[in-house]
């Protein structure tokens, strides 16, 4: 019940921001094109459901409703909905766990998208697939970033599984849009910013080391959802990068966010070597929105601008959620 109340409250805030009606998960308007969102309860799926609702009849499936590890169920779910457009927001994104669960990573991140693509081609639907900065090695010298035409060279199981998903979709021959994004955050679900807030509130005087030598592009899921709508509505095809404009380190992001939140904190910059993890992280995860700019369809804004707006609209909801999580431990 509490989760449902939080979901509705966040919808109401989103409605005020976007000045548009709250979505129904399964629209009944036969005039509108049918849209299927896979992974609707995640950060991006949540925002896509609302961003697309005015112009599409939206059906959303959560991981509980469609478990992508059972790939045989994918075709049946898509055929049941008969969508004109499919947006796949679902993935196995626990990067470190992927190193020990290679089979699960491949199943969800590459085999499942291949099944979606095959079914999309069968019914003439367009597949919008979300990919990642982890398809690159991260070895490009800073401050240079990666564009859509740069050579891919993943250095982790997660990155390789996501690249395999991209390849399967391209080779399927279905109409598709693949959007690589990075460092995603939103009001729904878990993310780095929420973790930083919870830690700062629980122990405000404790010094915490935050990695300062990994650089990427912080991306608000709401802005990315609006960008996806622009791509779909404009009939775009192919591979794009879609991230917040500008780059920063994890340390810079955490510092800026907690200052905006007006929360006491003690952060110390550190090197990646001081924070060892099972999976190698790209030191340079900077993506360039080159195609979006070249085609004059860029919706993404500077990451600081987006983060400031995010806090302005969701500050109290973020604090309430973090305090509830602390109380529950």
Q: Which of 34, 43, 11 is nearest to 232 (CA)?
A: 34
Those residues with Cβ within 8 angstroms of residue 76's Cβ, 6 or more apart along the chain or in another chain: none
- 255-296 confidence digits (pLDDT tens): 999 999 999 999 999 999 998 899 999 999 999 999 999 999
Token pair for 221: 């899921």
pLDDT recorded at residue 275: 85
Token pair for 77: 């779910």
Residue 92 known to be catalytic: no
Which stretch of 12-21, 66-75, 87-96 has the lowest confidence by average pLDDT?
12-21
Chain mean position to CA 232: 17
Which residue, chain included where needed, has tokens 């509490």?
Answer: 2
Rounded to the nearest 10 degrees, the angle between the axes of helix 157-172 and helix 112-123 is 20
Token pair for 170: 């391209």
Alpha-carbon span 261 to 279, nearest angstrom:
31
Rounded mean pLDDT, 39-60: 97
- 106-151 confidence digits (pLDDT tens): 999 999 999 999 999 999 999 999 999 999 999 999 999 999 999 9
pLDDT recorded at residue 31: 83
Rounded mean pLDDT, 159-163: 98
Rounded mean pLDDT, 179-190: 97
- Banded model confidence at residue 26, pLDDT cuts 50, 70, 90: very low
Alpha-carbon span 223 to 301, nearest angstrom:
8
Percent of residues, the chain, with pLDDT higher than 70: 91
Whether the predicted pLDDT of 56 surpasses 70: yes
- Average pLDDT over the chain reads 92
pLDDT recorded at residue 29: 47
Alpha-carbon span 148 to 146, nearest angstrom:
7
Which domains, from first to last, does the chain contain? 2-328 (3.40.50.720)
- 195-243 confidence digits (pLDDT tens): 999 999 999 999 999 999 999 999 999 999 999 999 999 999 999 999 9
Alpha-carbon span 115 to 131, nearest angstrom:
16
- Single out the catalytic residue among 158, 185, 240, 314: 158
Whether the predicted pLDDT of 245 surpasses 90: yes
pLDDT recorded at residue 10: 52
Percent of residues, the chain, with pLDDT higher than 90: 89
Whether the predicted pLDDT of 21 surpasses 70: no
Whether the predicted pLDDT of 17 surpasses 90: no
Rounded mean pLDDT, 61-79: 95
Those residues with Cβ within 8 angstroms of residue 111's Cβ, 6 or more apart along the chain or in another chain: 71, 168
The Cα angle at residue 224 between residues 223 and 226, in degrees rounded to 5: 65
Q: Which of 102, 162, 114 is nearest to 136 (CA)?
A: 162
Rounded to the nearest 10 degrees, the angle between the axes of helix 112-123 and helix 72-81 is 30
Q: Which of 243, 170, 225, 215 is nearest to 42 (CA)?
A: 225
Whether the predicted pLDDT of 325 surpasses 60: yes
Length of the chain: 329
Chain mean position to CA 73: 23
Whole-Å CA distances, 265 to 97, 141, 255, 307: 29, 32, 9, 18
pLDDT recorded at residue 4: 41
Whether the predicted pLDDT of 27 surpasses 90: no
- Banded model confidence at residue 3, pLDDT cuts 50, 70, 90: very low
CA dihedral 244, 245, 247, 251 (to 10 degrees): -40
pLDDT recorded at residue 18: 41
Contact assessment for residue 99 and residue 157, using Cβ atoms and an 8 Å cutoff: yes
């Amino acid at each position: 019940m509490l989760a449902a109340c939080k979901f509705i409250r966040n919808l109401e805030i989103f409605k005020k921001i976007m000045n548009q009606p709250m979505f129904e998960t399964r629209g009944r308007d036969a005039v509108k094109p049918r849209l299927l969102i896979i992974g609707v309860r995640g950060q991006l799926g949540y925002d896509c459901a609302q961003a697309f609702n005015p112009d599409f009849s939206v059906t959303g499936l959560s991981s509980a409703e469609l478990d992508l590890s059972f790939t045989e169920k994918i075709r049946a779910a898509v055929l049941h909905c008969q969508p004109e457009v499919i947006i796949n927001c679902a993935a196995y994104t626990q990067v470190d766990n992927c190193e020990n669960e290679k089979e699960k990573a491949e199943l969800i991140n590459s085999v499942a998208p291949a099944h979606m693509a095959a079914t999309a081609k069968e019914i003439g639907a367009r597949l919008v697939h979300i990919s990642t900065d982890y398809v690159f090695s991260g070895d490009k010298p800073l401050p240079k970033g990666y564009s859509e035409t740069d050579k891919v060279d993943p250095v982790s199981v997660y990155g390789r599984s996501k690249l395999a998903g991209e390849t399967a979709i391209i080779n399927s021959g279905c109409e598709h849009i693949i959007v690589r994004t990075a460092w995603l955050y939103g009001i729904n679900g878990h993310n780095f910013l929420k973790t930083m807030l919870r830690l700062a509130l629980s122990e405000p005087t404790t010094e915490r080391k935050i990695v300062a030598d990994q650089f990427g592009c912080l991306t608000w899921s709401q802005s990315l959802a609006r960008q996806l709508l622009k791509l779909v509505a404009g009939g775009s095809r192919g591979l794009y990068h879609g991230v917040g404009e500008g780059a920063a380190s994890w340390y810079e992001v955490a510092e800026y966010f907690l200052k905006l939140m007006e929360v006491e904190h003690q952060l110390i910059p550190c090197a990646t070597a001081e924070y060892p993890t099972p999976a190698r992280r790209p030191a340079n995860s900077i993506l360039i929105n080159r195609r979006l700019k070249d085609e004059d369809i860029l919706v993404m804004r500077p990451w600081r601008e987006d983060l400031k707006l995010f806090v302005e609209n969701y500050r109290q909801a973020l604090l309430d959620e973090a305090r509830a999580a602390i109380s529950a431990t």
